[in-house]
Structure 1
Amino acid sequence: MPEGMPVRAQWPRLLLACPPESVRALARRLCEQHAVQDIQLPQSGLALLKLRDSAQGEAYYPGEVPLAVARVRVTSADGTLSEGAAQLLDDRASLARAIAVIDAVLAGQLPGHEAALPVLAAGQARLSEQKAQRQALLATTRVDFSLLGTTEEDDDE
């Protein structure tokens, strides 16, 4: 893997931060370059969100979340195989398949994987920008409670 490249677990998150059209366009170019076979057909639907109670440790289900899944096998022209997958908290199955294709090409470092690096970098930049905006908003809403109760007046009378 190239130095400074994000870990594989972060790729779907970074790709989701990019405009869907750019992710799909990249996946189309990679599909033209390689043979892509669906291991699991792209699907979307609802999944139960399961959480564990922190006090008792018991499982409970607060609700449903959208889920899109896809698994693919990509074969390059020289016969190299690589598999990729995506599970997204999203309802777009086509986007999940596109991300699975990019995942496979990146993981196997198949020809054309270099084209995905700028897209990952753009996603990282967008997420960093969102984080900075959230931190700036948090800083403007911060309240200093240490100043309360420091007045000389007593209302005990």
Structure 2
Amino acid sequence: MRRRLTALALALGTAALPLTTTTSASARDFIEIRSDMHDKCLSSNGDNVEMQTCRQHGNQFWFWDGRKLVNAAENHCLDVRNGEINAPAQAVGDCHGNANQRWSHNPNTRELISDVNPQCLSIQNEGERRDGAGINMRNCTRANWQTWRITPV
């Protein structure tokens, strides 16, 4: 009887292990990407990224997947269109992880820098303030329209 109870306890304990591992592995740490200039959030509108008043919506939530920034609502990656210099940035349908989808955030300057050309994620027209203002890539100058606070949500 004691052997059966021991075997049953081991079987139940072993069966529970994969569930715990699976749950923790699938958790995401969502972030908002806020402009230092006017406290608006980087948002995806399905095809492009733009600035919008922060509203705690899924299209304003992102997560890091290695060096890729993925939009939580659409599972699209932040991308430099065709890897061009001074190009618009956009959220694309498929994440592939090429250089035009790899980013680094410099904690000292707060710039988001692309691996493809090393330019900075920038608000168009040197920081246009309206909702819907576009995002593009420009040479890094440490201007407040190129600096971003990455905060957990």
Smaller-chain TM-score bracket: under 0.3
TM-score when scaled to structure 2? 0.22
TM-score when scaled to structure 1? 0.22
More helix per residue: 1 or 2?
A: 1
